Chains A and B, each alone.
Chain A
């Protein structure tokens, strides 16, 4: 029988029909009499597959279609067209044996009952996910250890801090030990320490249980720390799917040369070597065409009083920004409108 990856998406489309309304009373009246509907293509012909045990980062600006894709894959939304299969199931059928094997963690929606301790939600989940008592105890112990939950379990959820709440949310979402995790902004609003903590936990869960994970985040650090592979999506379309580090080579035609000068420059101009990104006292950074990097670096070493030099890939944030800029330019050239239609 042919191998089927746990996540399989082919030509997936999700269009929303939204009615447009001019602001103000006149606009309200006009839209009452005759509603203008437009199709917003939240996801537009997206295809990808994810293998068992992979952690894939889903990147894109707000409104790119990341969350919509995750919601289709977890069965919350019916796709307009195309195919989605998760663990062999059609997500939108929302069959219990499917839902028992996946989870969707939304950084901005919570399942914990606000006015009760998190433990109450855990117990309810144990019942509705049909987790046997001994396994429940064992998993809770494991999660408590990994996330340091013991001081939190008996406190009212509303009295927890944002980070503490997120840890409890993760625990509630993972008690049934899902094989596929959809994580939508799991670190949003958290401080750096807590972000690192959550990241470590996700990596640990993936390693221990060989879970397949698709995650979105606005924090590049989440993605660089966890994902070797990224899928970049914008305006509902996949712009890039592959190794995170190849993305830089493919997209960014430049490398970054950082130099430290032994003494101030004496008439030479850094501008002659490349695009100066920053220059402060005796430190400078230049963008140099990728192919010319070795030659330019050699020339700088020969001609300038250099104490130290490093050659780096440009920061991944800049690479990503560049991807979106290029896509926007391409759309503009094709004469497409910015949104929908």
Chain B
């Protein structure tokens, strides 16, 4: 009773079959996600209280809002009046909540304790299981964020956002890419746990970079011109600030185009980095602890 696959010896045949399997699994992926999401939702609801607490840790933009609001009392700063700061930071808070990522904590733990073994045995790339957990978290967060956003809208009726169909579409796309960038870059740091035991520390530095240069401490156009110039092309901007900038209507058409292209370039970069690191790291895996 020999497996037919086992008899294939030439590489060409192998590739064709590989391509078939790939096409097949892409076709089947939505069904798998439905099941993964279902389980992840179950877990999220099990841990709902702690998620609300975690959401509160993402309110640092509101603290910065208070600071800038006070500073702008005597007049606009670099074109930002008090209301502009409110509009900016409320949107930044929303974007941050919706792009929140914690995958490195799971990945790092599972690699170093060997729990990743369980996921590696499944005929699906483990990244999909992590993505599903994050998606479920976003679904849960929307239930809380939508009423809060409506409340904010009611409290500050004169906030100005550029809500044209085109900008809204761009905002949504930039939001999705921002999440992907945050997820993939953190995933790459997590993969480092195959080699080093301090992957979390490196990620903390990355996170600090995002707070500084991703628009949390200050809107990027408040930085001195040389810093802002550089920050405009760093990945941090596209992990948080860019979707906000789009909706604030402060970008020219060419700014948006250059930004979008830079954003997509970073996405391609992290996608390739992830694939490369994963294929190397998986060879290092020790599957410890069992």
Residues on A facing B (Cβ under 8 Å): 1, 3-4, 6, 16, 52, 67, 71, 74-78, 85, 87-89, 92, 94-101, 103-104, 106-111, 113, 115-116, 120-121, 123-130, 184, 210
Complex-state Cα separation, A67 to B32, whole angstroms: 30
B234 contacts chain A at the CB level, 8 A cutoff:
no
Q: Closest CB of chain B to A181's CB: distance in Å?
A: 12
- B114 in the interface, Cβ–Cβ < 8 Å? yes
When the two chains form the complex, which single residue of A3, A76, A100, A111 contacts B285, counting CB atoms closer than 8 Å? A76
B6 near A116 with CB under 8 A, answer no
Interface residues in B1-50 (C-beta closer than 8 Å to A): 1-3, 5-8, 18, 21, 25, 28, 31-32, 34-36, 38-39, 42-43, 46-47
User: Are B31 and A127 interface neighbours, CB within 8 A?
Assistant: yes
> Which residues between 110 and 147 of chain B lie within 8 Å of chain A, taking CB atoms?
114-115, 117-118, 120-124
CB-based contact A110/B118 at 8 Å: yes
Give chain A residues whose Cβ lies under 8 Å from the Cβ of B47: 115
Q: Is the CB of B39 within 8 A of A128?
A: no
Contact B6 A89 (CB under 8 A): yes
> Chain B's nearest CB lies how many Å from the CB of A42?
10
Interface residue B164 (Cβ < 8 Å from any Cβ of A): no
| Chain B contacts to A: CB under 8 angstroms | 1-3, 5-8, 18, 21, 25, 28, 31-32, 34-36, 38-39, 42-43, 46-47, 114-115, 117-118, 120-124, 282-283, 285-287, 289-290
- Identify which of A4, A96, A107, A126 contacts B21 (C-beta below 8 A): A96
CB distance from B5 to the nearest CB of A (A): 5
Mostly, the B contact residues are: helix
Residue of A nearest to B33 (CB): A127
| A-side interface mostly | loop
Question: Closest approach, in angstroms, between the C-beta of B32 and any C-beta of chain A?
Answer: 5
**Which B residues are in CB contact (< 8 Å) with A97?**
5, 21, 123
Docked complex Cα distance between A96 and B21 (Å): 8
Minimum CB–CB distance from A166 to chain B (whole Å) comes to 14
Those 6 A-B pairs whose CB atoms lie nearest each other, nearest first: A88-B6, A127-B35, A96-B123, A99-B123, A76-B287, A106-B290
Contact of A99 among B1, B36, B121, B282 (CB under 8 A): B121
Q: Smallest CB-CB separation from A76: which chain B residue?
A: B287
CA distance A127 to B8 in the complex (A): 28
Contact B121–A76 (Cβ < 8 Å): yes
B5 to A, closest residue via Cβ: A88
Min CB–CB distance A326 → chain B (angstroms): 29
Q: Are B290 and A116 in contact (CB under 8 A)?
A: no
- Chain B residues contacting A96 (CB-CB under 8 Å) are 21, 25, 123-124
> A127 touches which one: B18, B32, B282, B283 (CB < 8 A)?
B32
| List of A residues within 8 angstroms of B1 by Cβ | 6, 52, 210
Given contacts A108-B290, A116-B39, 15 further A-B contacts (CB under 8 A): A67-B290, A74-B121, A77-B287, A87-B6, A95-B18, A96-B124, A99-B121, A99-B123, A104-B121, A109-B118, A115-B46, A116-B43, A127-B32, A127-B35, A210-B1
Interchain residue pairs with CB less than 8 A apart (22)? A6-B3, A76-B120, A76-B285, A77-B286, A78-B283, A88-B6, A89-B3, A89-B6, A94-B120, A96-B124, A104-B117, A109-B118, A113-B43, A116-B46, A120-B39, A121-B39, A123-B35, A123-B39, A124-B35, A124-B36, A130-B28, A184-B290
Contact B286 A16 (CB under 8 A): yes
Q: How far is the CB of B265 from chain A (nearest CB, A)?
A: 30
Q: Is the CB of A124 within 8 A of B123?
A: no
CA distance in complex: A108, B34 (Å)? 29
Q: Among A3, A106, A125, find the residue whose CB has the most chain B CB atoms closer than 10 A.
A: A106
B36 contacts A127, C-beta separation under 8 Å: yes
Contacts of B43 in A (CB 8 A): 113, 115-116
Question: Which residues on the B side are within 8 Å of A3 (C-beta)?
Answer: 2
- Residues on B with C-beta less than 8 A from A111 are 118, 121
B177 to chain A, nearest CB (A): 27
| Nearest chain B CB to A97 CB, angstrom units | 6
Closest-by-CB residue of A relative to B287 is A76
> Separation in Å of the A229 CB from the closest CB of chain B?
18
A126 & B35 in contact (Cβ 8 Å cutoff):
yes
Are B38 and A120 in contact (CB-based, < 8 A)? yes
A128 to B124, CA, bound (A): 7
Q: A4 with B114: in contact, given A108-B289, A128-B122 (CB under 8 Å)?
A: no
Residues of chain A within 8 A of B34, CB atoms compared = 127
User: Across the interface, do A1 and B121 meet the contact criterion of CB distance under 8 Å?
Assistant: no
With both beta carbons as reference points, the residue of chain B lying nearest to A125 in the complex is identified as: B122
In the complex with contacts A1-B7, A88-B7, A184-B290, A129-B114 CB distance below 8 A: no
Q: When A109-B114, A110-B118, A126-B35 are in contact, do A88 and B25 touch as well, CB less than 8 Å?
A: no
CB-CB < 8 A to B115: which residues of A?
109
Contacts of A1 in B (CB 8 A): 2, 7
Alpha-carbon distance between A92 and B284 when the two chains are bound, in angstroms: 12
Contact B32 A109 (CB under 8 A): no
**What's the minimum C-beta distance from A177 to chain B, rounded to whole angstroms?**
13
> Which residue of A has the minimal Cβ distance to B2?
A4
Q: Name the distance in Å between A182's Cβ and chain B's nearest Cβ.
A: 10
